[in-house]
Amino acid sequence: MWPFSKEEKRAEITIKDLVALLNPRDSRSGVSVDQDSAQGLTAVFSAVNFIAKQVASYPLKSDNQFINQLVNESPDAVITANQWKLSTMLNLLLSGNAYCRINWNRSGYPKSLEFLQSNRVTPVIEQYQLKGYFVDGKATLLKNIVHFRINSIDSMTGRSPIAVCRDAIGLGIAQQNQAADQQANGMKPSGVIEYPEFLNSDRGKKFKSSLNERKAGETLVLEGGSQFKAVSMSNADAEFLESRLFSVDEVARIFNLDKIWLQNSGTGAKYDEVNASQKSLLANTISPYLIAIESELSLKLMDSIKFNLAELQRLDAKTRYDVYATAKELGVLTVDDIKQREAI
């Protein structure tokens, strides 16, 4: 039975929804924030690419040879499996949703996994149930779409970290734009020039003309009793540099990522700090995405699909060798066993 209803019901729109529709991207800082503009903030670009590359680097494994080939070699004989996982993660991190379409063969096995950019797909929700999807405006059955999602409240669609934390990211972009504007102004403060005479007088016109002919960054020389008064705060007064560092911390919190991985450790990270951060990265940042991808692929492809975490779960060299030495003394592992484990 076709899952989509023939008639579409007209939903009620509140004032809040109407404002969101008319101006969906503006943050309180006055900066328009969407997936593209958010990546203009270096901390966001670094965070999403770092997490995506981490997840994409781990291979998937399946006992089904057809599926194993799709997820580890190429999902569609066009792009590599690594590029498929990387693009999937970038869409997931930026929009909260990532999709691919399953093309089945006559034997009931998946023939290919077609990557779909998130803006091409619209979930169809009726009576609080996910019925299917529209892909490029065409209806597609639920079973034919692999739908990865994060930060979901209704369990049917994901929420973008960019949209949820729009104000914090907008503030960071505004600070970045302000720094660029100050640099373009030769790091000189904006202000007002007080001229003692009327500007429409002969001397006033001459003075105004000299200002217009002045090159950017050139020293401003005032004459005839003119005075320059700055109207903007200096970087020190506004604690500008500190606030920019704070925006990096905010982005790290948004993506649950230690600021060490965004090159914002302050005085530099020590070995113990990096080691602890590495364990936190694997357990708290990467693992939730791995679980989300595993569960959705296993559900839609009807097979047990897992990430190969042999490399992910390895301890640092010193701790690992201490464990091997203890295991060898107790007779739990042989030298050959240890060599085999290290060869993985």
Specify the number of domains making up the chain: 3
Instruction: For residue range 105-125, list pLDDT tens digits in order.
Output: 988 889 999 999 999 999 999
**pLDDT tens digits for 248-304?**
888 889 999 888 888 765 555 554 556 667 778 888 899 999 999 999 999 999 999
Residue 242 has pLDDT above 50, yes or no: yes
**182 and 305 assigned to the same domain:** yes
> When comparing pLDDT for 21 and 174, which is higher?
174
Query: b/e string for 237-273 if b means 16 or more Cβ within 10 A?
Result: eeebeeebeebbebbbebbebbbbbbebeeeebeeee
Name every residue whose Cβ is closer than 8 Å to that of residue 129 and which is 6 or more positions away in sequence.
156
Query: What is the mean pLDDT of the segment spanning 188-203?
Result: 66
- Per-residue pLDDT, 102: 96
Residue 156 lies in a domain: yes
Whether 1 is in a domain gets the answer no
Is residue 263 a part of any domain in this protein?
yes
Per-residue model confidence as pLDDT tens digits over 36-59: 888 988 889 999 999 999 999 999
- Mean pLDDT, the chain, rounded, equals 79
Q: Per-residue confidence at 72, pLDDT binned at 50, 70, 90?
A: very high
267-271 long-range contacts, CB within 8 A, separation 24+: none
Q: Over pLDDT 70: what percentage of the chain? A: 66
Tokens encoding 270: 């020590």
Does residue 99 share a domain with residue 41? Answer: yes
- Same domain assignment for residues 198 and 293: no
Q: Tell which residue, 14, 110, 9, 93, has the closest CA to residue 56.
A: 93
| 39 and 75 belong to one structural domain | yes
In a domain, 6, yes or no: no
Residue 131 shares a structural domain with residue 71: yes
Is 296 a member of any domain? yes
Choose among 249, 279, 281, 275: nearest CA to 263: 249
- Is residue 116 domain-resident? yes
Q: Is the pLDDT of residue 24 over 60?
A: no
Q: In this predicted structure, what is the pLDDT of residue 310?
A: 66
Domain limits for position 62: 12-186+233-313
117 & 262 share domain? yes
Tell me, yes or no, whether 81 and 143 share the same domain: yes
